[in-house]
Structure 1
Amino acid sequence: METEHFLPFRKSAVTALCAAELPESERASFLEFARMLAALVHHRYHGRGDAVLDAYQLVDPAEDERTIRAATQRDRANARRVVEQELIALAEDADFTRIDAAEMRHAFAEHSLVKVRLEVDDENIDTAMFFRRGVSQRTEEVKWLYGLRRRTIEFTSYSKVLVYVAFTGHNDENAAHPNGGVLLKLFQNVPRNDLEMLYPSVHVRMRALDKLLIGVPAVVSGIVVLVTKLVASLGVLVLLLAFWLGLRDESVTLDQTALVSLGAGLAAFGGYLVRQFSKFKNRKIQLMKTLSEHLYFRNLDNDAGVFHHLLDAAEESEVKQTLLTYHFLRGATGPLTTAELDQRIESWFRTRWQTTFDFEAGAGLHALRDLDLLIEPEPGKWTVAALPEAKQRLDRHWDNIFR
């Protein structure tokens, strides 16, 4: 299983873990430093969120919010570019990994955990992007042999899956998205085998097994109906047709009894056809219900709410990276290279907390440099300002925010 950048601890937990390693006399000061750092990062993401949500409002206007002027087609096109660029950047900052075409093809090729055959209609889709976070191996019991037995299967699951779909505009008032538009959704606990069901334009199709379960009994019962109900009634019509065609010399008389028998046979056969069609429709409705329930319990957020979720996750990830980078550089006996810092942090979580992840020291170093906390005593090696001085520098940053 691949190693992700995502660290499955909240920033409060990371702060507590770091503070627990410090002498009692330094803990309060370190916690204050962590609060100041989180406030500065939060302010920056607040401005970033306002910008992307303003752009998203042009791409997918909220029905309960008014605008001060009508957006042109060019405005919407520019806003969509901003939305897509910021979505990719925020997903990366929040430790999501983009699902490439090869992974999607692999997911389509695997058997779905939900016993539904799906077909994706991408005719009206202009752009589709999928992102995932939190890869794990899970097991689940599923029904087998028509529900008579159960078996345990192992599968790859994604803790979070982000879906972005942009539609083409057709100027069709009956289309789901007549002027284009976008769809933005966030799901949780999604098996890799079931990725295709997250497409907005997915259609339920009958599996071969479903067709057999309906078709075989229908053929057998249809033969029985033909033999017992309709053949005897149609016999009179066959004889009459043969007489009209000159294939039979003896005439046929259609009395009331023959007509009643023919009508009863036709009614029985018509009822049989209606019952089989109803079975087919009910089976398809049942499959669609299964799909809807599966998506309902996995849907986490939609539309603009997805950006709020991403902003929070990206902000928390940056605070954790920066705090860990500062803590381990400060606690080292001498300056560290980027590789040494990576190795120390990953080893600490692996041995102390049984957590494996790929720490990005470069992102933490970049954030410390922006905050004027990073020191490079020799090329390629890093240390940080002492805790009292670091707090003073953060305080100056906060004072100068609105200047």
Structure 2
Amino acid sequence: MAVSENREAFIPYTRSDIIKLCLQDGQLDEADAKKFQDFCQILIAYYHFRFHKTLEVIKDNYIPFNPNADIQPITPPTFEQYDDMELKVVEAFQDIVERANYILLPESILKRSLATKSLIELKTQVNFEDFDRFICYYRGDSYKNISVKKFFFWQEQKTIDTFERIVLLVKFKEAAYFLGKKNKIQELKFIPGKMYVYFYKNIPKLDVDLIFPNVKTSMTWKDRLLFGIPAIGAAIPLILRTLPNLLLLLAAILIVLNVPFLVESLDVELDKVRNFMPVLVATLSLAIALGGFAFKQYTNYKNKKIQFQKLVTDTLFFKSLANNTSVFQMFIELAEEEESKEVILAYYHLLTSPTPLSPQQLDSRIETWMENKLGTKINFDIQGPLSNLEDIRGQVVQNSETTDNVPEIPLLTYDSHGACHILPLDDAKAVIDYVWDNAFRYNGIIL
């Protein structure tokens, strides 16, 4: 069971459910309920249009950085255009992730992750110098109580701090940097100069380092002891068995070097030393024994390393939600959902409040309403939806008026006391309908 530690701005319900909840609240009569539904419908279409523009910007500028790209630009970008395209992708990525109510991951957590382990007992190393830039966001800082298998049938209960969702963008340095480090480009697990984007679920906070594509894993000190002690134990009897052959070989070498007085101290039979065949047999026996032992230990080490890599791969495979282009598409939808839900909730509660509300009062009202209705505690981000309502401007034209002399008005204004005032439903529908009708001439683009 996951338990939330901190309130977050994320609203864990669909916008359709939020609209239904508002309608079931009993604050709107039948006529106003229909108008509110119409307002929400065109508002959702408006935000879909806005975020679609952002997606097109990302798609156009991500092409030279996409490691999975199967299309090429007709004219390759210049260095100046290349840098500008990278910046547009990064800025758009940060914009949609933050609009989806994700939180920037502190660097301190990454450092702790490299120094501490939670579920996967591995020593890890991430070279952050390999990146031109990296950005990591998360949502859902919670903890889970799990059972971990230890030594045969014994199970240990552990509390694991977990990120319910985490997204990572990394841009690798160009090939010249890796060639300067004497790396073989074809042996790298990534393509230099490309931008990788990963989206995962339920990642332990102290295992975040494992989602980096250039992470290197090795055995911990405990694994080294478990690996090394049996190896030493097996090596001792082998050395004792091969000691006569080793002495015989050493004596032969000393005779060749013309130091016979040292041969006498080895306590070996000189006849065997002077006879070529015994020395050859001793040499081959020693080489086979030691070589076989070394090969066995090396094979054990490689198998252990493969087990480690499989553990990491299996863990991330079943927790992966998307990568690269599909991450941008998913976050466009997430940001569109969150933005719509926030604006709908802000507008509804201003509409149904018997008295004008300040931003702080509105924020508290929405949080209390969500907790009472659904038992969900959120930290509603009031400034975002209020700014959006204030930015949506359009004309409200009466029957006898022409549009030429009608000024554009916003959905939200403030009085001299800082209280929020919104347009009534009929005027709000007219404004949002005006914006939609003029969408292709409207300049309120996200970027």
* Distance (Å, rounded) in 2 between the aligned partners of 1:115 and 1:373: 55
Greater mean deviation of Cα atoms: 256-265 or 57-66 = 256-265
- From the superposition, tell whether residues 290 and 192 of structure 1 become closer, same or farther in structure 2 (CA, over 3 Å): same
Find the counterpart in structure 2 of residue 12 from structure 1.
16
- From the superposition, tell whether residues 185 and 238 of structure 1 become closer, same or farther in structure 2 (CA, over 3 Å): closer
* Distance (Å, rounded) in 1 between the aligned partners of 2:252 and 2:83: 72
Runs of 4+ in 1 over 6 A off after TM superposition: none
Q: Secondary structure at the match of 2:166?
A: strand
Q: What do residues 85-107 of structure 1 show as CA deviations (whole Å, max 9, x unaligned)?
A: 22222111111111121222233
Q: What do residues 28-84 of structure 1 show as CA deviations (whole Å, max 9, x unaligned)?
A: 332222111101111111112212221112433753224232211211111111111
Find the counterpart in structure 2 of residue 154 from structure 1.
159
Find the counterpart in structure 1 of residue 296 from structure 2.
275
Q: Offset at 1:221?
A: 0.7
8 Å Cα contact 2:173-2:193 kept in structure 1: yes
8 Å Cα contact 1:325-1:364 kept in structure 2: yes
**When the two structures are aligned, how many residues end up with a matched partner?**
401
Q: What do residues 304-340 of structure 1 show as CA deviations (whole Å, max 9, x unaligned)?
A: 2111111111111110110000111111001100000
| Runs of 5+ unmatched residues, structure 2 | 393-409, 442-447
Q: Secondary structure at the match of 2:132?
A: strand
Alignment of 1:92-107 (within 5 A): 92-107=98-113
Q: Offset at 1:300?
A: 1.2
Q: Offset at 1:379?
A: 3.1
Alignment of 1:117-266 (within 5 A): 117-144=123-150, 146-171=151-176, 172=179, 174=185, 176=188, 180-228=193-241, 230-238=242-250, 240=252, 245-247=259-261, 251-253=270-272, 254=275, 260=281, 263-266=284-287
| Runs of 5+ unmatched residues, structure 1 | none
* Distance (Å, rounded) in 1 between the aligned partners of 2:129 and 2:33: 59
Greater mean deviation of Cα atoms: 69-78 or 259-268 = 259-268
8 Å Cα contact 1:120-1:196 kept in structure 2: yes
8 Å Cα contact 1:116-1:291 kept in structure 2: no
Q: Secondary structure at the match of 2:294?
A: helix
* Distance (Å, rounded) in 1 between the aligned partners of 2:271 and 2:48: 94
Is it true that 1:364 corresponds to 2:382 in the alignment?
no
Is it true that 1:301 corresponds to 2:322 in the alignment?
yes
Find the counterpart in structure 2 of residue 31 from structure 1.
37
- Identity percentage of aligned residues: 26
* Distance (Å, rounded) in 2 between the aligned partners of 1:236 and 1:365: 90
Find the counterpart in structure 1 of residue 52 from structure 2.
46
Q: Offset at 1:378?
A: 4.1
TM-score, normalization by structure 2: 0.83
- From the superposition, tell whether residues 268 and 37 of structure 1 become closer, same or farther in structure 2 (CA, over 3 Å): same
Is it true that 1:376 corresponds to 2:421 in the alignment?
no
* Distance (Å, rounded) in 1 between the aligned partners of 2:101 and 2:327: 15
8 Å Cα contact 1:335-1:377 kept in structure 2: no
- From the superposition, tell whether residues 225 and 45 of structure 1 become closer, same or farther in structure 2 (CA, over 3 Å): same
TM-score, normalization by structure 1: 0.92
Q: What do residues 146-184 of structure 1 show as CA deviations (whole Å, max 9, x unaligned)?
A: 344111111221121111111222435826566622111
- From the superposition, tell whether residues 220 and 382 of structure 1 become closer, same or farther in structure 2 (CA, over 3 Å): same
Is it true that 1:401 corresponds to 2:442 in the alignment?
no
Q: 1:313 aligns with which of 330, 334, 353?
A: 334
8 Å Cα contact 1:240-1:251 kept in structure 2: no
8 Å Cα contact 1:58-1:75 kept in structure 2: no
Q: Offset at 1:190?
A: 1.0
8 Å Cα contact 2:390-2:411 kept in structure 1: yes
Greater mean deviation of Cα atoms: 272-281 or 170-179 = 170-179
Is it true that 1:349 corresponds to 2:370 in the alignment?
yes
Q: Secondary structure at the match of 1:319?
A: helix
Give the letter for the 1:270 counterpart: G
Q: What do residues 277-311 of structure 1 show as CA deviations (whole Å, max 9, x unaligned)?
A: 11011101110111111111122111121111111
Q: What do residues 237-258 of structure 1 show as CA deviations (whole Å, max 9, x unaligned)?
A: 4555666522257732338567
- From the superposition, tell whether residues 158 and 179 of structure 1 become closer, same or farther in structure 2 (CA, over 3 Å): closer
- From the superposition, tell whether residues 268 and 53 of structure 1 become closer, same or farther in structure 2 (CA, over 3 Å): same
Greater mean deviation of Cα atoms: 81-90 or 389-398 = 389-398
Greater mean deviation of Cα atoms: 165-174 or 288-297 = 165-174
